[in-house]
Structures are given as C-alpha cells and as structure tokens.
Amino acid sequence: MEDGTTSTRELGATLRRLRKTAGLTIEAAARRAEVTKGYLSKVESGLSQPSIAVITRLAEGYGIPLSEVFISEGEKKPISIVRASERRAINRNGTELGYVYEVASLNKANPRSEVFFLTLPCIENKGLPRFRHAGEEILLVLEGTILFEYAGAQIILETGDCIQFESSFEHYGVAINGRDAKAFVVITTDR
C-alpha cells in the first residue's frame, strides 16, 4: 500500500481516535507500542502504514481487541461469517517484511480471539524482529513449510502441523523451501 492512500489515512484516523478514547498522549502510546513518537504521528496522519505487530501493540496498549481497530461499532454483531472473497488484508501488499494478514473474523462484537489467514514470506530470517505480545496463539499450517522460532528454539512446521503457545515469549516464523507458506492463526489476548 502506498503511503497516503485513503485506507492508510482511515487507519491512522482510527488509531488516533482510539488513542484519545484510551486517554493517552501520543508519547505514552508510542512508548507502549515500542515505537517513536514521530513514527506514531506519521501513522496517525496517514503518512506511514504500520505493521500488524505495531497495530497489535497499540490495541493492547489501548486495552481493546485488535478487531476494534478495523471494525466500526455499527458493524459489530453476535456472529461473524466471512466468505473467502470477503477477507480483508490488514496490510495490503504485506508489512515491510512481506507478511500478509487477512482478517478471518470481522464483525463479531466483543471477540475473545483474533482470527487471521497469514501468508509467511520465504525470506532470510537474519535480523527479523521477534514478536512478543500478551496472550496465547495457535498457528495451523495450511500449506508450505515454516521455520518457526519460539523462545530461542527452532521448530519446522509442515502442512497440517499445529502449534499453540504463550505469545509472551519471543517468536517468529518464515517460509522455507523456496515458496511462501500459508497458515490459519488464532490469537487470544489477555484482557
């Protein structure tokens, strides 16, 4: 997604509104999300597209489910049905690392879990950021092979393999064997 597109501006405006609703200054929100004040200002102004990791840390810092960032209050219902053709990519063209998250559950009011389809790129894993957040995560490999690192241990996950883990330990995954991998991911955060 190019910086400054309508979607980037809308996301920035939503993040600003949620920060203000949480009663946080931009400095406090940036500290909680482990980003600089300048970067968060660019995100809120629609000049920079945040990664899913940053959006997740912002949502946690604001004390809200991740879906709150992407779904307006009027769209929420007691049930969520998302057809394959209706999935929304959170970061169009993926994050700066090439990860692409598609929301698999959209309009459920007060969800206890965040549900995604994830495409993991086949990239060099040296220097990649390690993710860490509150809660628990489940990752089911739909296709491909993933090199998954959890708390310093490397694990190979093949199609059909499923891993469930505490998300507070550093973790990340990359596709291996020359092609991207796809996974179904459920994140349950501690609220």
CATH number of the domain encompassing residue 132: 2.60.120.10
64-116 pLDDT tens trace: 877 778 776 666 677 777 888 887 776 533 356 678 888 888 777 777 888 88
Same domain flag for 178 and 118: yes
Average pLDDT in the chain: 84
Same domain flag for 86 and 173: yes
To the nearest 10°, report the CA torsion of 19, 104, 122, 46: -30
Same domain flag for 57 and 88: no
**What count of residues does the chain have?**
191
Same domain flag for 94 and 151: yes
Question: Domain boundary at 16, 47, 70, which?
Answer: 70
**Domain contains 20:** yes
Strand boundaries in 59-168, DSSP class E: 88-89, 100-103, 114-120, 136-143, 145-150, 153-157, 162-166
CATH of the domain at 42: 1.10.260.40
Residue with more model confidence, 83 or 46: 46
Classify burial at 148, counting beta carbons within 10 Å of its beta carbon; exposed 0-12, middle 13-18, buried 19 or more: buried
The domain in which residue 145 lies consists of 75-188
- What pLDDT was estimated at residue 1? 38
**Domain contains 89:** yes
Same domain flag for 147 and 169: yes
**Domain contains 1:** no
Question: Domain boundary at 54, 70, 86, which?
Answer: 70
DSSP state of 113: S
**Domain contains 122:** yes
Total domains in the fold of the chain:
2
Same domain flag for 40 and 82: no
Same domain flag for 123 and 29: no
Question: Domain boundary at 33, 54, 70, which?
Answer: 70
DSSP state of 70: H
The dihedral built from the CA positions of residue 107, 99, 147 and 152, taken in this order, carries a sign that is negative
**Domain contains 131:** yes
118-154 pLDDT tens trace: 998 888 766 677 788 888 999 999 999 999 999 999 9
